[in-house]
Structure 1
Amino acid sequence: MVVIDLFSGAGGLTEGFYTQGFEVIAHVEKEKWACETLKTRSCFYYLKNRNDLATYNEYLKNSIDYKTIEKSREIIFKKYPELKMKLEKEVINKAFGNPQEEDGVVSIEEIIELIEDSMKYNNKSSVDVIIGGPPCQAYSIIGRSRMKEKVVEDKRNYLFKYYKEIVNHFSPKLFVFENVPGILTAKNGAIFNEIESEFKEIGYKLMSGKSKNHKENILNSKDFGVYENRKRMILIGVKDDFNMEYPDFLSNAGLVKEDMNTKNVIGDLPALSPGEGEDFKVVSYSYNDKRKLSDFQKLMREDSIGVLNHKARTIKDFDSRNYKMAIEGKMEGKQIYYCDFPDDTRNHKNTHGFLDRFKVHWWTDTPHTIVAHISKDGHYNIHPDINQCRSLTVREAARIQSFPDNFKFEGPRTWQYVQVGNAVPPIMAEVIARTIKQILKEKQT
């Protein structure tokens, strides 16, 4: 079954479809480092399907500088020279837009041509599923509050139109359009109504869930088996002649037999003080006794030789005091708000909004949502161990998002954080893919 992935990011949604045996023949993504991550992940599955993860692991051990990534990949390309062309064809580092009005974008016609080129390379004549979701900052409640009046004119509100053009051209049986719940209320609901109308024009019915009230169809990744409270809209578009109701995704979610808390997600990872760790090198696990591991940790460690992307930020003295105070508050079962901090540890004048900006992922709580703002600072993602007194590493954030430990995020650490924060949790994506796969197989019989 053939898939096109739009607005791919690091490939969280793709990961779920990979695990279910779909062929993802094209990723369209505008960010360079996300594209490099997609290429590395494509290498992983190419080598895994050939029972040669040893070569992938050799790449991980030698890829210790993002500036020399091409040289590092020669370890793989010397053995599998055909893989270099495969990556060039399938990972399309382009941004949707109007080149006559914007810099750094290409026309929809050029992107369609590049996707068709990849289809030809892969000997595919049709597409079964299109997946992806336009960047969500313009739809999210927090994003809209930060952008204020600029959100009305933000062009990201209309990136779905490019998605529509791809769907119209390649005519898949169905598509998966993932986004934040704020897409329902953007421009007082006008955006969502327009999305529905635009897809209806090209012969697709857009479904948000079982209920006629769209707001009742908001899903939480925790219900899919992801140890994270992360609310999302999973919109499904189907051809008018493809008789299908909204899928019962949760019936395909695995049964979790342990507490979905922070300890069971990151409690086994090496302890770090601020500034310690490695951005690129593979680090050994703290211990390998499976009896000490949670079910989730065992799952994350499968096919992994160690810990990647695990370096702690350095932090300023006054932030360190805030972190300590926030952790001590959680020890007593309290959330410490920004207005509670002493005057000499506050560097923002705003003591009325975003009061929970210093937030701890407490050991016994289900982790809260990881968002891309983690690339700017770690205040909203504080590690629960007061002896470490720091923010989460990329790997810890990735674990919360359910990325396996063998998943390498390429590029500088800031861009690694962006990729993690913007991603669809792979376990959620896997449940979606498994359900879609069942539906497509049933329709074929």
Structure 2
Amino acid sequence: MKAISLFTGVGGLDFGFEAAGFETSVAGDFDRVACDTVSINRPWPLLRGPIDDFSSNTILKTARLSQGEADVLIGGPPCQPFSKSSYWVSGDSKRLDDPRADTLASYLRVLGDALPRTFLLENVAGLAFKGKDEGLQHLLNGIKKINRKHGVKYNVSIAKLNAADFGVPQRRERVFLVGHREGRAFSFPDPTHCEPSLAGESGLEPYRTAWDSIADLVDAPLEEGLAMTGKWADLLPSIPEGENYLWHTPRSGGLPLFGWRTRYWSFLLKLAKNQPSWTIQAQPGSAIGPFHWANRRLSEAELCRLQTFPDGLRFDCGRTDVQKLVGNAVPSLLAEVLARSIRSQLLDSPLAEPLRLIPPSRGAPPPPEKVKSVPKKFRELIGDHADHPGTGLGQGAKRLAAGELVLGTEA
């Protein structure tokens, strides 16, 4: 089955559709490093540059497809205007006024010109926030215009999914839109995994964990540069697995070194062997996790495993670029689950074999790593620290609004 891929990135969606029996007939992205990485790993025809640099005819010609022949159009338009950080900074301003939201129009343009049998669009959960859903309404209105113009019946189903609920060893929420050209209704798959404490009564499998995902890489050679650096490096070993800086606040079990919720959630965030990973960040600062339980950064192979990419991917770029590529991607197992549902419900071609990208269940992990005491140099921070005043009211948000910080950096 033939897929047209827009905003491909490193190929997270594509790897999942590939595992479900689809072929990427054309891929496209403006990011040079992403395109170079795709070309190293897959023979997909590749358009390098902004999508609007290429006419829909060029996209179809590169894919060797005519209008209406593609089985699916997939893509995740860049999401910055609809992220939670954007809401904190810009308040009630219109997200569609952000020029980065033009990618939604680009996706709609190709959808209307290519007229694939089905489509899937992925974006951040903020796209569908109540009262802040201009982007979602823009998409739905655009699809209605396509239906009227071409006499088709794209019927859109929308869901917010947590990747961990489908066997991905990572907690990551995203919004998905799926539609069928002839108006068939699509039902998103039900979760297959849940918190271990609920697994017995629900009949679902317990969440796949970081241990399930990367345990067999423990003895693998590690690339250089994984040691944590910076001001807070020596504090990380004093934080237990699965915790972050909140451990060292008055409301938790450590020392009162910080105020409650006065830092980013991912500040000094550490994986726990018996839990899914927290969301992999695309642009972490020196103290932004998740970090390995061995108090270091995650390796390339570990990052890819936690995103359920197929094994064996190669990178010819620096650590920062690898983190960006992986952190911006869709977990490939979640894409495989959705691709299989699209095949079964909308394309009359179900697959019987097991999921290809789901990590094995490795059973109970070893005990948590021992926690070290807080180094003396940090004990001068002990004190009565005020809690964060509320969303959008902290000093970091004010500095962001004033243009003094870049999103994703340490506040």
Q: How far apart, in 2, do the equivalents of 1:150 and 1:244 lie?
A: 33
Alpha-carbon distance change, 334 to 264 in structure 1, aligned in 2, over 3 angstroms: farther
Alpha-carbon distance change, 160 to 356 in structure 1, aligned in 2, over 3 angstroms: closer
After TM superposition, the structure 1 stretch with the greater mean CA deviation from structure 2, 421-430 or 124-133, is 124-133
Question: Aligned residue for 2:9?
Answer: 9
Q: CA deviation at 1:438?
A: 1.9
Question: Aligned residue for 1:159?
Answer: 103
Q: CA deviation at 1:15?
A: 0.6
2:189 pairs, out of 219, 242, 249, with 249
1:95 pairs, out of 50, 57, 66, with 50
1:224 aligns with 2:166: yes
Question: Aligned residue for 2:140?
Answer: 196
Question: Aligned residue for 1:286?
Answer: none
Question: Aligned residue for 1:292?
Answer: none
Q: How far apart, in 1, do the equivalents of 2:96 and 2:250 lie?
A: 30
Match of 1:439, SS state, is helix
Match of 2:177, SS state, is strand
CA contact under 8 A between 2:270 and 2:293: conserved in structure 1?
A: yes
Q: How far apart, in 2, do the equivalents of 1:197 and 1:125 lie?
A: 21
Q: Per residue, is there more helix in 1 or in 2?
A: 1
1:112 pairs, out of 39, 56, 71, with 56
Alignment-mate amino acid for residue 38 of structure 1: V
Count of residues paired in the alignment: 335
1:360 aligns with 2:270: yes
CA contact under 8 A between 1:92 and 1:114: conserved in structure 2?
A: no
CA contact under 8 A between 1:3 and 1:23: conserved in structure 2?
A: yes
Alpha-carbon distance change, 184 to 119 in structure 1, aligned in 2, over 3 angstroms: same
Match of 2:42, SS state, is helix
1:420 aligns with 2:307: no
Match of 1:177, SS state, is strand
4+ residue runs of structure 1 moved beyond 6 angstroms? 122-125, 147-150, 338-343
Q: How far apart, in 2, do the equivalents of 1:258 and 1:184 lie?
A: 28
Question: Aligned residue for 2:341?
Answer: 435
Q: CA deviation at 1:393?
A: 2.2
1:382 aligns with 2:298: no
After superposition, the C-alpha distances for 1:268-325 in whole angstroms (9 at most, x for unaligned) are 22469xxx832xxxxxxxxxxxxxxxxxxxxxxxxxxxxxxxx443433632222112
Question: Aligned residue for 2:74?
Answer: 131
Alpha-carbon distance change, 150 to 411 in structure 1, aligned in 2, over 3 angstroms: farther
Q: CA deviation at 1:351?
A: 7.3
CA contact under 8 A between 1:338 and 1:358: conserved in structure 2?
A: no
Alpha-carbon distance change, 419 to 256 in structure 1, aligned in 2, over 3 angstroms: farther
Q: How far apart, in 1, do the equivalents of 2:235 and 2:309 lie?
A: 29
1:323 aligns with 2:323: no
Alpha-carbon distance change, 370 to 330 in structure 1, aligned in 2, over 3 angstroms: closer
Q: CA deviation at 1:36?
A: 1.8
Q: CA deviation at 1:117?
A: 2.7
After TM superposition, the structure 1 stretch with the greater mean CA deviation from structure 2, 187-196 or 133-142, is 187-196
TM-score when normalising by structure 1: 0.66
Match of 2:208, SS state, is coil
Q: How far apart, in 2, do the equivalents of 1:317 and 1:271 lie?
A: 26
Alpha-carbon distance change, 367 to 223 in structure 1, aligned in 2, over 3 angstroms: same
Alpha-carbon distance change, 146 to 319 in structure 1, aligned in 2, over 3 angstroms: farther
1:372 aligns with 2:278: no
Match of 1:234, SS state, is strand
Alpha-carbon distance change, 427 to 364 in structure 1, aligned in 2, over 3 angstroms: same
Alignment-mate amino acid for residue 109 of structure 2: E
Match of 2:348, SS state, is helix
Q: How far apart, in 2, do the equivalents of 1:321 and 1:338 lie?
A: 20
Alignment-mate amino acid for residue 124 of structure 2: V
Alpha-carbon distance change, 208 to 330 in structure 1, aligned in 2, over 3 angstroms: same
1:27 aligns with 2:31: no
CA RMSD of aligned residues (A): 3.7
Q: CA deviation at 1:418?
A: 0.7
Q: CA deviation at 1:17?
A: 1.3
Alpha-carbon distance change, 115 to 258 in structure 1, aligned in 2, over 3 angstroms: same
Q: How far apart, in 2, do the equivalents of 1:251 and 1:442 lie?
A: 22
TM-score when normalising by structure 2: 0.71
Q: How far apart, in 1, do the equivalents of 2:233 and 2:143 lie?
A: 50
Question: Aligned residue for 1:263?
Answer: 211
Unaligned runs of 5+ in 2: 148-152, 194-202, 351-411
Alpha-carbon distance change, 246 to 15 in structure 1, aligned in 2, over 3 angstroms: same
Alignment-mate amino acid for residue 373 of structure 1: Q
Match of 1:218, SS state, is strand
Match of 1:362, SS state, is coil
Alpha-carbon distance change, 251 to 413 in structure 1, aligned in 2, over 3 angstroms: closer
Q: How far apart, in 2, do the equivalents of 1:263 and 1:419 lie?
A: 23
Q: CA deviation at 1:95?
A: 0.8
Q: How far apart, in 2, do the equivalents of 1:312 and 1:147 lie?
A: 36
After superposition, the C-alpha distances for 1:91-137 in whole angstroms (9 at most, x for unaligned) are 1111135xxxxxxxx2xxx34243133133x7998212100110122
Unaligned runs of 5+ in 1: 44-86, 98-105, 210-216, 279-310
Q: CA deviation at 1:30?
A: 0.8
- What is the percent sequence identity of the aligned residues? 25
1:335 aligns with 2:247: yes
Question: Aligned residue for 1:180?
Answer: 124
Q: How far apart, in 1, do the equivalents of 2:122 and 2:241 lie?
A: 37
